[in-house]
Amino acid sequence: MAIVPMETTAREEQYLPIIEDAANQKKALQFRYLTITSGKEAMRHGSVHRVLVGPPARFIATCHRSGDLKWFRVENVTDARLDPNVPCRDADAKAVDAYLRASLDGFHDGGAPVRHVFFVSDPAARWVARNLMDGMEDEEVPGGIRVTAETSGASRLARYVVGLGAAAKPLTPDLAREVIALAEGALKAIDESADAATPTTKADAKASSPTAAR
């Protein structure tokens, strides 16, 4: 039987050793980072406290801009080097551990962890029970499973629940709000796409009518 090793990306191979050096040597890391939500790259400094090789490879660092612990994905790093001219910032090990435990799949929305619960019906429940994220716990209930997660990563949890479609139902209010917000955002995007494809003037409607080309 052949064993297939976990694949790493070119950026992970290039920058992960530098990030690990920053953590081991307690040196400040200067890195250029692509923020997916804004689509913009910016140079920043961070003090690396934990490195998770993944996949995907991620690290927890104190952001020197905000002073807060944050997650960073190595694939989004486009340049990195140790900066001996910037002091490395220490972080309490217990605080870093708590941040890690409260995170879900590399996401932490800030604030204290909240208990979230959702139900998954059979037969999808059988797949979900074998593919739970770290920090999730399930129990069998009539018709499926009930999944519990105490986390500060509600946005990531909501995307997980939405991805299960009609088989999943949030049972706690905070999670329900996150799921509804995602659903409303998707519906809005669909409506905007439909509006963009619909003629807005009589001239447009005439030009696009089946008889216009006759």
Q: Which of 93, 6, 8 is nearest to 50 (CA)?
A: 93
Question: Residue 83: its pLDDT value, please?
Answer: 96
Buried b vs exposed e over 198-207: b needs ≥16 C-beta within 10 Å?
Answer: eeeeeeeeee
- pLDDT for 88 equals 97
CATH number for the segment(s) 114-197 = 3.30.70
10-residue averages of pLDDT along the chain (214 residues) = 66 94 96 87 95 91 95 95 96 95 91 94 95 93 96 93 94 95 84 67 55 51
Q: Where in the chain is the domain with CATH 2.30.30.520?
A: 10-102
Structure tokens at 125: 């429940």
- What's the pTM? 0.75
What is the number of alpha carbons within 13 Å of residue 197 lying toward its C-beta?
6
What is residue 206's predicted lDDT score, i.e. its pLDDT? 58
The answer to whether the CB of 162 falls within 8 A of the CB of 183 is yes
Distance of CA 196 to the CA centre of its chain: 29
Look at residue 49 in the predicted model and tell me its pLDDT: 97
| CATH 3.30.70 domain extents, the chain | 114-197
CATH of 10-102, picked from 3.20.20.70, 3.40.50.1980, 2.40.30.10, 2.30.30.520, is 2.30.30.520
Q: Cα(181)–Cα(19) distance, rounded to whole angstroms?
A: 35
